Chains A and B, each alone.
Chain A
C-alpha cells in the first residue's frame, strides 16, 4: 500500500495531463497542443482570451 498510493497518484496525474495546454509558442506563434474543446487548463488564444469562453 505504501508503494501503491504514490503510484496511483502519479497514474491519476498522468491521466489528467493530456488535458492541460502547456504555454507553447514557436516564433511567437501560439501552438495548440491540446484541442481547445478539450483543454481543462490553458488554451489561451493568441490575444490572451480563453478559447473555451470565447
Chain B
C-alpha cells in the first residue's frame, strides 16, 4: 500500500492542490463554498496523483539508473508497470470526469491543462530531450492555481499574474535538485540545465531565478496589500535570498539541497497567507 502511495508523489499533490485551493479561496473573496473546496481537493488528488503515477511508469528505466530514484517501487520491482499504468488511467479519468461534473468545463479544462503539461509535455515530450522540459512543464503550476481560481470567477489577468507565483517557483526548485544530483541526471542522460551547461552558468541561473521568483512574490504581496502578508512575505523572501546566496557561495550539493528543500515551504506559506492574511 505504501508503495502505491509513493507512486502518487504525495508532496507534489499537496503543493499543487494547495495552489488550487488557494486560488479558489482568494477568488471567492475568502468566502469559499465547502462543496467546491471538497471537489477541488478530490479532483486535485486524483488528477495530480494520476499524472504522477504515469511519470513513475514512463521514467522507470531512467529511475533505475539514478541513485536517488533507484529504490522507487517500479525500478525496485515492488510494483508491476502495468499496475502503475492502470492506476494512472483510473485516477486520471476519474479526476478529469469529476472536475467536469463537479466544478464545470473551465476548471476541468485547467485540470486537463495541468495534467497534460506534467504527463505529456514534461514527462513524455521534453524530459529526455531538452533542458526546456521544466520551463514548459511548469505550466502545470499555473494550471493548478487557475483551476481553483476559475472555480470561483472567470479567468482574468489577476488570476494569471497570481498563478505565476507558482510557475516561477518551479524551475529554481527542480534545477536546485538537479544541481545537487547532477551526476545522477548525467548518468541517466537526462538533459537538465545543470547537466547541459557549465556548473558556473547553472549556479548563476538557478540563484538568479530563485531570487527573481522571491522578488515576484514580494511584488505580489505589496500589490495585494495587507500588513501581515507583506511582513511574512518579507521573511520568506529573505529566506529565499539567503539560501540562494549560500548556495552560490558554497557551491556544494548540501547548500543546493537546502535551497531545494526550502523552496516548497516558502511557496506553501505564501499560498496559505493568500487565503487567510487580512
Residues of A within 8 A of B (CB): 3-4, 7-8, 11-12, 14-16, 18-19, 34-35, 37-40, 52
A38 touches B224 (CB 8 A): yes
Q: Which residue of A lies closest to B156 (CB)?
A: A35
Interface magnitude class on chain B: 20 to 34
Instruction: Enumerate chain A residues within 8 angstroms of B216, measured Cβ to Cβ.
Output: 15-16, 18
Instruction: Enumerate chain A residues within 8 angstroms of B164, measured Cβ to Cβ.
Output: 18
B219 touches A15 (CB 8 A): yes
**Interchain CA distance A18-B158 in the complex, whole Å:** 11
A-B contact count (CB 8 A): 59
B208 touches A7 (CB 8 A): yes
B161 in the interface, Cβ–Cβ < 8 Å?
yes
Dominant secondary structure at the B interface: helix
User: What is the CB-to-nearest-CB distance from B167 to chain A, in angstroms, rounded to a whole number?
Assistant: 12
User: What is the CB-to-nearest-CB distance from B241 to chain A, in angstroms, rounded to a whole number?
Assistant: 9
Instruction: Enumerate chain B residues within 8 angstroms of A8, measured Cβ to Cβ.
Output: 207-208, 211-212
A11 touches B158 (CB 8 A): no
A19 touches B156 (CB 8 A): no
B222 touches A40 (CB 8 A): yes
Instruction: Enumerate chain A residues within 8 angstroms of B220, measured Cβ to Cβ.
Output: 19, 38
Given A4-B207, A12-B211, A15-B168, 4 new contacts (CB under 8 A): A7-B204, A35-B161, A37-B224, A38-B158
B209 in the interface, Cβ–Cβ < 8 Å?
yes
Instruction: Enumerate chain B residues within 8 angstroms of A4, measured Cβ to Cβ.
Output: 204, 207-208, 248
Q: Which of B212, B222, B224 contacts A14 (CB 8 A)?
A: B212
Residues of B137-163 at the interface with A, using a CB-CB cut-off of 8 Å, are 156-158, 161-162
**Interchain CA distance A4-B90 in the complex, whole Å:** 47
**Interchain CA distance A40-B208 in the complex, whole Å:** 23
A18 touches B161 (CB 8 A): yes
A40 touches B204 (CB 8 A): no
Instruction: Enumerate chain B residues within 8 angstroms of A11, measured Cβ to Cβ.
Output: 208-209, 211-212, 215
B223 touches A19 (CB 8 A): yes
B213 touches A15 (CB 8 A): yes
**Interchain CA distance A52-B222 in the complex, whole Å:** 12
Instruction: Enumerate chain A residues within 8 angstroms of B161, measured Cβ to Cβ.
Output: 18-19, 34-35, 38
Q: Which residue of B lies closest to A38 (CB)?
A: B223
Q: Which residue of B lies closest to A13 (CB)?
A: B215
